[in-house]
Structure 1
Amino acid sequence: LVVVSEVMSHLRSVSLGVWVKCGSRSEPPEIAGISHFIEHLLFKGTRSRSAAEIAEAIDSVGGQLDAFTEKEFVGFYARVLDEHLPLAFELLSDIVQNPTFPEVEMKREREVIFEEINMVEDSPQDLILDLHLENFWKGHPLGRPISGTKQTVRTITRKDVRNFFHKYYHAGNIVIAAAGNIKHSQVHKLAERYFSDLNGGNAVPAGPPPRACAGRHIRQKSHLEQTHLCLGTISPSVTSEQRYCCHLMNHILGGGVSSRLFQNIREKRGLVYSIYSMLSLYRDAGSLAVYAGTAPEKAAQVVNLVLKEFKRMRQDLVSAEELKRAKDYVKGSLMLGLESSSSRMAHLAQQMIYYERLYKLEEILEAVERVTARDIRDLANTVFDSSYIALTVLSSKDGVDLQNISMDV
């Protein structure tokens, strides 16, 4: 069991997280969505508490209790006043060690997850990103939506849930992280007190990395006014030494209102309302994707302009001004993002999950500062290779004009 903590003595709050190193990537295809299903079910009752009693326990101290599922981990966390840290430990330990998985709650929560899936289906901006990764990493669990599908969630049994839970929820696969007005010795004593009964075991391997699948994928969906576009390619992984360079390149390309995509496609030409680029970084793989929503008759022009920006990234060095602005943004957003106990706790946990060590803030800032314009161009020549670029389209039209568009960069 890994326990990590950071003192933030100027705060009165404490954030405590229990991070389990399994997510949708860990799932067999026939039970896709089970990690997310279990995350929901752990709040539905333990051997000593009902779902209502769990809610009452955290409300009684004015705290927050929540959870989330990602592709490579699941997190359960509480935020309380420093004096209530023992309660947070006791409550989280109960939830992740003593769930009962009641059949009646499984039936009810399955319906809740169906509504989550419906919500994505009704949100084109979310749906197209799921479609992109599903096609880009075809046949790999990183390409599947975290919630699974209605078909897979419908077939998950209580036995499946219990087996998956026991396989991954053990000491060798869990990180406990705390940040706030704490003492390290107190955190370690509480962790020992409340988590010493966890079964032992080793971290479960992640499995092989995905293979990028280029190409075009067009899905027609009625009642859409806009055509939604996603142009995606590979990127360095979250553990790569190039990750800082990648974040800078992404920001310059489409990370904000001063980015090239926003300025050249929205501000100068008025072709879109929303356009941006984003990174999806995992242990051994990554994807950089550009999203844009536009009128159907303008879609081909927008795709060509995005490809033009890819090409410019490959050919020309970014300006000194652009690079400085990107570095200031990345460093500033990092420092501002770590001012709360909850964000600092998450930062600690993810460093232990991916690097098995803690990077000082100064180390990260220095690594960002070391990136050069040539580094970005070199990375762009790898990332924006035509053999990796995939186009995903969601539109009420047939997209014939996009089927024949040249994807050469």
Structure 2
Amino acid sequence: MEELYPGVSRARLPGGLSVLFEPRPDRPLALGVWLRLGSRDDPAEQAGLAHFLEHMLFKGTARRSALQISQAIDGLGGDINAATSKEYTFFHVEVLPQHLETALDVLADLVRRPLLAPEEIEREKGVVLSEIQAAHDMPQERVFELFMEKLWRDDHPLGRPIAGEEETVRALSQTQLRQRFECLRPEALFLTAAGGVAPAELLRVAGEKLGDLEACPAELHREPPRPNASGLYLEEKETQQVHLCLGLPALARGDERRWALEVLSTVLGGGMSSRLFTRIREQLGLAYAVSSGSSYFQDGGLLLIYLGTEPGKARQAAEVSREELQRLEREPISPEELRLAKQKMTGNMLLGLESSHARMMRLGGSEIYRQHLPLEQVIARLEAVSSEQVQALARQLLGEQPLTLAAVGPAAGLKTLEGLLDA
């Protein structure tokens, strides 16, 4: 057993699987089984495979029907769910601590013994196709998909929707699904636990349920990101508003400059006191929803502004957003803005980690990217960011990467955006 930092430890089961845990007495127990497989690992002709597998694992195992999976956790008053991202998939349960064995038995059942029955595959395709169609029908979802497609190129895995496309999902076969599960390598699978858990008991149960996984030589080879050149991408849709995403490629998860990027994004559009919110919504009345954020991947990332506005205000709102980005490049943020941004981020982190589920998620994300930092060090790194570092980063990002703008909405609003990035 190894202590990663005070309160958080890692142990390895005999077969090599890692178990990470953060005991917190008198708290609910949150468990997660994580796979280092996400949508970017899907072959182009099987786009949506990881997401579809996430769905299928709940459709029955060799020991439980779909209903029995739900009843096993519902009957304990607990919750069970799953999610797929670009770079990982995870299955999680939250229960009272005394139900550790049942909860872990269900999770192990899902990832080790899925039936993947042909009739269930065809039935679930209808569910996932409806999910894809719903995303296309929601302009807030569609504009983000369009932005990702164009920022990373739609032929790169990071540019594809996590759920895939209708034609690739329709074509998925039982054989393709089974191939993904032929060999679950211990290094590609791990367990996280937080809350009311005794380490010895956790490791005993985990050893029973997951300890006999065998090593496998199969490896994943991820294609490095290839950002597109600057571009304006417009998609007409009959909506009341124009939905905009303006952004650019940014930093990978392991880049130490990401602490400065977090401060930059918070100052720019992180909440109701941010520059974008204050200027675009409060002062100019150009939009109700406006925000910015950063996303990080193993080997790349992005900085993004989102807003929804009336068609007649779309160009001005986009221009003001670009001006605020350029302002960060031109002048350092004030000491007071810097202090408030750090205070906000620290408060958000501490409040966000009150639940066992959030702690379990933090453990999982840290293990995926192999970057374990105690909360005190995260706060210290944020506190160490200077306004000069934020300005230098803004200059680097805006100087190296041109902006990409994606917009979805009525033709009248889209037409006003033409030539915007050339101005």
Range of TM-score over shorter length: over 0.9
Counterpart residue type for residue 390 of structure 2:
I
Instruction: Give the secondary structure class of the aligned counterpart of 2:212.
Output: coil
In 2: Cα distance, 1:128 partner to 1:386 partner: 24
Q: 1:307, 1:407 within 8 Å by CA — same for their partners in 2?
A: no
| Runs (4+) off by over 3 Å | 202-206
Counterpart residue type for residue 197 of structure 1:
D
In 2: Cα distance, 1:203 partner to 1:3 partner: 21
Q: Which moved more, 1:179-188 or 1:313-322?
A: 179-188
- Cα deviation per residue 1:264-315 (whole Å; 9 max; x = unaligned)? 1110010111111122211111011111111222211111111111110001
In the other structure, the counterpart of 1:376 is 390
Alignment of 1:7-406 (within 5 A): 7-11=23-27, 13-138=28-153, 139-167=155-183, 169-201=184-216, 204-213=219-228, 214-221=230-237, 223-355=238-370, 357-385=371-399, 387-397=401-411, 399-406=414-421
In 2: Cα distance, 1:80 partner to 1:145 partner: 32
In 1: Cα distance, 2:220 partner to 2:343 partner: 37
In 2: Cα distance, 1:41 partner to 1:263 partner: 45
Please, what TM-score do these two structures have when normalized by structure 2?
Answer: 0.93
In 2: Cα distance, 1:273 partner to 1:202 partner: 52
Instruction: Give the secondary structure class of the aligned counterpart of 2:68.
Output: helix
In 2: Cα distance, 1:31 partner to 1:45 partner: 22
- Cα deviation per residue 1:236-288 (whole Å; 9 max; x = unaligned)? 11221112111111010011111101111110010111111122211111011
Q: 2:295, 2:301 within 8 Å by CA — same for their partners in 1?
A: yes
What is the root-mean-square deviation in Å for CA atoms of aligned residues?
Answer: 1.4
In 2: Cα distance, 1:247 partner to 1:203 partner: 36
Q: How far apart are 1:203 and its partner, in Å?
A: 7.7
Q: How far apart are 1:170 and its partner, in Å?
A: 2.8
Q: 2:232, 2:421 within 8 Å by CA — same for their partners in 1?
A: no
1:6 equivalenced with 2:22 (yes/no): yes
In 1: Cα distance, 2:95 partner to 2:111 partner: 18
Size of the alignment, in residue pairs?
404
In 2: Cα distance, 1:315 partner to 1:203 partner: 49
Please, what TM-score do these two structures have when normalized by structure 1?
Answer: 0.96
In 2: Cα distance, 1:387 partner to 1:53 partner: 51
Instruction: Give the secondary structure class of the aligned counterpart of 1:270.
Output: coil
Counterpart residue type for residue 18 of structure 1:
V
Counterpart residue type for residue 410 of structure 2:
S
Q: Which moved more, 1:93-102 or 1:385-394?
A: 385-394
CA gap of 1:210–1:89, structure 2 versus 1, over 3 A, is same
CA gap of 1:347–1:273, structure 2 versus 1, over 3 A, is same
- Structure 2 gap ranges (5+): 1-16
Counterpart residue type for residue 226 of structure 1:
Q
In 2: Cα distance, 1:165 partner to 1:205 partner: 14
Q: How far apart are 1:387 and its partner, in Å?
A: 4.0
Q: How far apart are 1:165 and its partner, in Å?
A: 2.3
Instruction: Give the secondary structure class of the aligned counterpart of 1:10.
Output: coil
In 2: Cα distance, 1:300 partner to 1:67 partner: 39
Q: How far apart are 1:205 and its partner, in Å?
A: 3.7
Q: 1:172, 1:202 within 8 Å by CA — same for their partners in 2?
A: no
In 2: Cα distance, 1:61 partner to 1:210 partner: 44
Q: Which moved more, 1:382-391 or 1:135-144?
A: 382-391
Q: 2:403, 2:421 within 8 Å by CA — same for their partners in 1?
A: no
In the other structure, the counterpart of 2:13 is none
In 1: Cα distance, 2:252 partner to 2:231 partner: 22
- Cα deviation per residue 1:202-234 (whole Å; 9 max; x = unaligned)? 68445132122121111111x211111111112
Instruction: Give the secondary structure class of the aligned counterpart of 2:280.
Output: helix
- Cα deviation per residue 1:379-403 (whole Å; 9 max; x = unaligned)? 1112223742101111211633322
Q: 1:230, 1:392 within 8 Å by CA — same for their partners in 2?
A: yes
- Structure 1 gap ranges (5+): none
Instruction: Give the secondary structure class of the aligned counterpart of 2:417.
Output: helix
Question: Identical aligned pairs, as a percentage?
Answer: 36
